[in-house]
Amino acid sequence: MDARSMSSSSSSEWRDWSSLPEDLLLLILERLRWSSHPSVAAVCLPWRSAVPPSYPAWITPLLLNAADVGTTNIRYYSPYFHKNFEIDRTLTDPGAKICCSAAEHLTTLCTPDDVVLDADMVSGSIRELPRLPDSKFNFIVYDDGALRTTMYAIVTVGSLRICRTGLNDDSEWDDWDLVDSPDEQMVPTLPISNPVFHGGMLYLLGKDGRLALYDPCNHERGFEILDKPESFGFETDDSYLVESEQGELMAILVGRRGTPVHIVKLNEEAMKWEEVESLQGRTLFTGTLTTMMRSVKIKWMQNKVFLPKLYDWPETIQVNLVLRDGELAFVPKSGGENTILKDGEDYMEKMWCYEPGQRQAKKFWGTKSVDYGIWVNFST
């Protein structure tokens, strides 16, 4: 065989990476993290067409919501994609209340017959806890430990009461241990003010800016009303507590119909509230029984406060929530286009938001409330 024929033969057998069979590419993709899929899709058109459509669930917190109380499929609203991702897992407890989330896989539902349900949002498994002492509890929260082995139920109407349960050695929840605070220990809390763990203590926020504190190491003492701080210095309609990523205790205060908005943090040396002029690039997701502060990479979302009020209702996509190598993504059941993450160049405001320092917050006129929901975080 001469050199010319050898060259012709090798040329005819040579293939570049773009000619890999699609079924082989799919096998490779199944072994890659979701976050690597955009890089694979950017190699060439054949590879892009082989990458299945998916929506990352970890970019920002998501609004876990339902169409009605306890009687609908679970769905997640993404403020980045402005879409609802609906899962085929139906909440079938009439009147159930979505109370809280912990880690990224757990949520709690409190049913009218005083039963608390501990649900895994990824697997769909549900565990029933012992019955609560009565039906007057306003809040249920997990502890702030990494393993989430303790749960607290709190009454904020009238005298403050708290009860707790923990996982025992058999991985079962114990009966609730109820504590009544003294009769004089009363704090006027707002309807949606949420309990928050800060420095290992559980805090409640009163309408006037006063704080109630519970020490898990002294459970029998219940809540104690602190002498300071005394007030915010201005009136507000709704308030939400949060512990920042820097360990600060902060409150978001929203006036009637969305204005004015104040963000304050607790000066723990002077024990007084101080106004915050900037979130330093961080983002607040609030307006529900859970409030979260996160550092997000999306520029148009930085240094803003988001509330669950939409200017137009989003498209709903039927999906599976798929966990792969520690990352969660929504995978459409009926296919669709590949998602390309952008940094807001085509951004149009779809959700009510406020940026500290802007002249005046916008009112809620023209928005639709996303009811029966809480913010959840899949980023860790």
Alpha carbon distance 67, 376 (integer Å) = 17
- Other beta carbons less than 10 A from residue 103's beta carbon: 15
Cα angle value 48/52/56 (rounded, 5°): 105
Half-sphere exposure of 154 (CA within 13 A, CB side): 30
pLDDT(252) > 90: yes
Higher pLDDT, residue 335 or 53: 53
Spatial distance between the Cα atoms of 334 and 328, rounded to a whole number of angstroms: 18
Greatest mean pLDDT range, 3-12, 70-79, 107-116, 213-222: 213-222
pLDDT for 123: 77
**pLDDT tens digits, 285-333:** 999 888 999 998 888 899 999 999 999 888 999 998 888 878 888 989 8
Give dist(CA 95, CA 106) in Å, integer: 19
Q: How far is CA 183 from CA 159, 267, 309, 319, 335, in A?
A: 6, 29, 38, 50, 59
Task: Say which residue, 85 or 12, is predicted with more confidence.
Answer: 85
Amino acid occupying residue 21: P
Q: Is the pLDDT of residue 191 over 50?
A: no
Edge-first strand listing for the sheet containing 196-198: 196-198, 201-205, 211-214, 223-225
Ordered by start, the domain boundaries in the chain are 17-51
35-64 confidence digits (pLDDT tens): 777 777 777 777 777 777 888 898 899 998
Q: Which residue has the tokens 């809280």?
A: 100
Residue bearing tokens 């600060």: 248
pLDDT at site 41: 73
User: What CA dihedral angle connects 43, 44, 45 and 47, to 10 degrees?
Assistant: -60
Q: Tell me, what amino acid is at 281?
A: G
In this prediction the pTM is 0.84
| DSSP-assigned letter for residue 244 | -
Q: Confidence band (pLDDT; 50, 70, 90) for 179?
A: confident
Encoding tokens for residue 27?
Answer: 């096998």
Q: What is the mean pLDDT of the chain?
A: 80
* Residue 131 exposure: Cα atoms within 13 Å on the Cβ side: 6
More confident residue, 182 or 27: 27
For residue 139, count other CB atoms closer than 10 A to its CB: 21
For residue 56, give the 3-state DSSP assignment.
Answer: strand
- Dihedral sign (CA 27, 30, 36, 42): positive
Question: Which of 14, 44, 47, 59 shows the shortest CA–CA distance to 342?
Answer: 59
Helix locations, the chain, DSSP H: 3-13, 22-29, 37-41, 45-50
Q: CB of 294 within 8 A of CB of 61?
A: yes
Distance separating alpha carbons of residues 267 and 253, to the nearest angstrom: 17
The pLDDT tens digits of the residues spanning 81-121 come to 999 998 876 666 656 777 787 765 566 666 666 778 887 88
| 308-345 core/surface letters (b: 16 or more CB in 10 A; e: else) | bbbeeebeebebebeebeebbbbbbeeeeeebeeeeee
Give the H/E segment covering residue 231: none
* Model confidence pLDDT, tens digit, residues 124-155: 778 888 888 876 788 888 887 666 789 999 98
